[in-house]
Amino acid sequence: MKVKKRYRKIIALSAAALGMTAALHVGDAMAYFTTYVSSAGGGTVSLGTSTLIHEDPVVNMTKQIMVENTSENPCFVRVGVFSGSIIRFSQAEGESNWSEGDDGYWYYGPILEGKSPDEETGPMTEVLNVEIDVPEGYDRDDFNVVVVQECTPVVYDDEGRPSADWNAGREAVN
């Protein structure tokens, strides 16, 4: 009886081992032809600008204004000339790239290119001549003229033309 029991155990274990072996499935060893490539690149966004306004003293009731780009990045510039209500302004004679906007600013049309690192001075705008016309009865030797200059980066519009977006952006909160 004892022997029979032992044999039964061996037979059962053998059957289990056989069953497990049969259940083992060797996966298909499949290989496919594949290949790959990759490439990467990029660039730097250089934005900072610095502009310098050149104002000559008033001579013959005319003020001459020029703006110099002292940074390496191209930009558009505009100039605001404010003086209260006692004087008027007019542009000097001849062709000029300056034009007066509806908002009181004077806009310089061409891109003011960036300064070359090898040069001491940067590209400058043409001269904006502002003739000051003091009405009769006012003091011609005592008046104030405030000049404000601004610049903005060159951006391209949908048609691919360089343009200035003076309303874009906001002062960063530091």
The single residue listed with the structure tokens 């009886």 is 1
Q: Can you tell me the distance from the alpha carbon of 145 to that of 132, in angstroms, rounded to the nearest whole number?
A: 9
Contacts of 73 by beta carbon, 8 Å cutoff, 6+ apart = 46, 47, 48, 49, 114, 153
Helix (H) or strand (E) holding 82: strand 75-82
The Cβ-side half-sphere exposure at 120, using a 13 Å CA radius, reads 0
Q: How far is CA 98 from CA 5, 17, 91, 107, in A?
A: 112, 96, 9, 5
Residue 42 sits in the site that holds other proteins (CB under 8 A): yes
Measured in degrees and rounded to the nearest 5, phi and psi for residue 6 equal -65, -45
Nearest CA to 110 among 80, 70, 67? Answer: 67
Interaction between residue 151 and other proteins (CB under 8 A): yes
- Of 24, 29, 45, 146, the residue at the interface with other proteins (CB under 8 A) is 45
Give min distance, CB of 141 to other proteins, in A: 24
Among 70, 83, 91, 96, binds other proteins (CB under 8 A): 70
Using CB under 8 A as the binding rule, whether residue 57 contacts other proteins is answered as no
Select from 6, 8, 54, 88 the one that contacts other proteins (CB under 8 A).
54
Contact with other proteins (CB under 8 A) among 3, 24, 26, 44: 44
Residue 98 Cβ, how far from other proteins at the closest point, in Å? Answer: 18
By CB under 8 A, which span of 8-16, 28-36, 83-91, 120-128 interacts with other proteins?
28-36
- Does residue 37 bind other proteins (CB under 8 A)? yes
Does 53 contact other proteins by CB under 8 A?
Answer: yes
- Please give the size of the binding site for other proteins, defined by CB under 8 A: 47
Q: Which residues bind other proteins (CB under 8 A)?
A: 30, 32-55, 70, 72-74, 114, 149-151, 153-157, 160, 162, 165, 168-172, 174
